[in-house]
Structure 1
């Protein structure tokens, strides 16, 4: 009779449907000496839970924190950042001085040649733009031939 009840509770236990009181009942049943023969195989499971509960952790855990390492790491990181900013500022200052001299010529002939080169480059780019515009005009003419405009050919409707 009692073994039937234990079997029902075991079935619920393995489906994860038991309450805490039912699990306590299983633990008490399997820790007693009068366990049914066909349920003897489950004794080790519930016996293990009882043994694990009684075990004590005796090893001491060290309470050291690693605040020193974090402090040194943050100091090293800030030094690296400052060196990076200083290096950038030093080299960007040299580049700024060099850029101030761009666009000025002492020789008028040299300035004239540079201006001619710039205008020639501009002219080439404008020609490319005009050629692209001609393709658009050809497309517009072809589109007008294919899609007849009803306003032009309505004849007074």
Structure 2
């Protein structure tokens, strides 16, 4: 093959525009002994492609995996959980425990705290609700747009094409 044709094929190959037949022509050219000196740099690349084509995967692929579950570890974990439960369990004393966070012994004290919390939440909620009052004006404006639909319907009736 003429050297100009090989150079054109190489340019097309680098741009990704060659067909399989043109690539085979390039592989055949670079596998031969008569390669132009300025194209010698492409020879190892095409030699690699030819060698890579002959490689095959020969290992077996396992389709099922073995599940080797050791039940001894479940019993060890269960014993550890039970031991921690016995160790960390404190006896419940009749009456009230003052050391627990967030608990109250006196029901009236608990009611007062809940009332304070709900009053604070209510005041913040009312502040937020008052700032959204302008949405009513938007709703009033969109309701007046209904008149535009009536005008459009009448114009369609007038200019109806038969």
Q: Taking structure 1 as the reference length, what is the TM-score of the superposition?
A: 0.44
Q: Taking structure 2 as the reference length, what is the TM-score of the superposition?
A: 0.43
Q: Which has the higher contact order (CA 8 A, sep 6+)?
A: 1
Larger Cα-atom Rg: 1
Q: Which has the higher helix share?
A: 1
